[in-house]
Structure 1
Amino acid sequence: MRWAQACHRVLWRRRGWPARLGLLGVASLLGLGFYLGGLQVTGNFHTVIPQELYRSAQPSPAQITAYAASYGIRSIVNLRGANPGRDWYEAERTAAQLLGIQHVDFAMSAKRPLDDARAAQLIALLRAVPKPVLIHCQAGSDRTGLASALYLAAVAGQGEEAAEGQLSVLYGHVGLPMLGPYAMDETFERMEPALGFPDS
């Protein structure tokens, strides 16, 4: 207890504002780390549009079963692409088949922008698959965020703010230009005029 009080005096009384800001910065980073870790532990599952579109990280067979029972999932779009022979992929396909869920693979990278042709293919796929649909990537934050944003904008006809909200730290997406996943933000920004959103 005395040691903690001594640290408090050094940081908050003797060092002044720089030490306080440094401590707050470290605490903020730790808090963000715990939050992002918690998203992965819980599967990063979220409702985008009830009875229509859901998003998640890589689901286990048990999670697929639970999502199907709770939300009536009729199709899964795997944004990691086909990975025959990989345990996660075979388990996902088997679970979907056993539950009568349509399973579709769409390969994309979280670190490379999606070109216009591929974005159009993804929008057409999301429009066509049986609903409710679950879309996922590995972490459920970047590729899934872009796919959710495109769905809201191009299929559901929702506004720019709602669509862009899917690319958010709330889902684990950190859209900073120096990070690879910023490619998802770049893709959406580039497509805004085609989606009916004027340049701002």
Structure 2
Amino acid sequence: MKPNFSRPKSLWRRAAKTLVGSAIGIAAGMALWAGYLQLTRNNHEVEPGVLYRSAQLAPEQLDSVIQGRRIRTVINLRGAFPGKLWYEAEVAAVRDAGAQFISLTMSANHQPDAVLLASLEQALRTAPRPILIHCNYGADRTGLASALFELLEEGKPAAEAHAQLSFRYGHFPWLTSRTGAMDQTFQQVVEINHGSGPLRVSTDAQAK
């Protein structure tokens, strides 16, 4: 009987087709989930009655969230942009709702310095609650802030806190994305604080 050399090739082709099909299915599922997050403005509860997170909201959406969840502080991680339509509309919506507004300028692609991190942690610790945190898409900067809150304020284990930086909320630090800077920052805070306590900033760091 002659050996059937075509059988291994046939098995390989079937396996390759299965892998490709699985990859396409996973990619399609991820795309659908990302679309859903944008449709819902990535609006989530982190700690009931304490902390909420979202993407950039239109003024009427923001007012609805503030009223519905009795938000007392809105933390904008996109920074202050006087004169920009979205920024002025947000400031007015927060002011009209009687809530406090805090702006911090963060990048999703670069690690914040120690001073900025300390400012964020102080805002999370001292701002009137409930708090709503947002950036543009509500995935990366907002994910880092939410993870830090869970770690430093709620005392959650690092792995549990880090779940706030996951694809569940649209965080995608792979391939050519540079948003892994948020994960690196979180890991550094974990190492510095050993999982608890406020972020400590040295005098040298504050002077920079």
- Identify the TM-score tier after normalising by the shorter chain: 0.7 to 0.9
1:103-182 correspondence runs (5 A): 103-176=101-174, 178-182=176-180
After the TM superposition, list the runs of 4 or more consecutive aligned residues in structure 1 that deviate by more than 6 angstroms.
none
Equivalent pairs counted in the alignment come to 187
SS in 2 for 1:166: coil
TM-score by length of 1: 0.88
Identity %: 39
Letter matched to residue 24 of structure 1: S
Q: Which moved more, 1:29-38 or 1:139-148?
A: 29-38
* Counterpart check, 1:101 vs 2:99: yes
Report what 1:190 is aligned to. Answer: 188
State the Cα distance separating 1:197 from its structure 2 match: 3.2
Uncovered stretches (5+) of structure 2, i.e. residues with no partner: 1-9, 197-208
Report what 1:7 is aligned to. Answer: none
State the Cα distance separating 1:31 from its structure 2 match: 1.1
CA distance in 2, matches of 1:125, 1:44: 22
Do the aligned partners of 1:115 and 1:187 also contact (CA within 8 Å) in 2?
no
CA distance in 1, matches of 2:12, 2:184: 45
Report what 2:205 is aligned to. Answer: none
State the Cα distance separating 1:59 from its structure 2 match: 1.1
Write the deviation string for residues 103-156 of structure 1: whole angstroms up to 9, x where unpaired: 110000000012222211110111111100000000000000000111111122
Report what 2:20 is aligned to. Answer: 22
SS in 2 for 1:121: helix
Match of 2:31 among 27, 30, 33: 33
SS in 2 for 1:35: helix
SS in 1 for 2:149: helix
CA distance in 2, matches of 1:190, 1:68: 33
Match of 1:46 among 40, 44, 47: 44
Do the aligned partners of 2:67 and 2:97 also contact (CA within 8 Å) in 1?
no
Match of 1:77 among 58, 75, 78: 75
SS in 2 for 1:43: coil
Which of 1 and 2 has greater Rg? 2
Q: CA RMSD in A?
A: 1.9
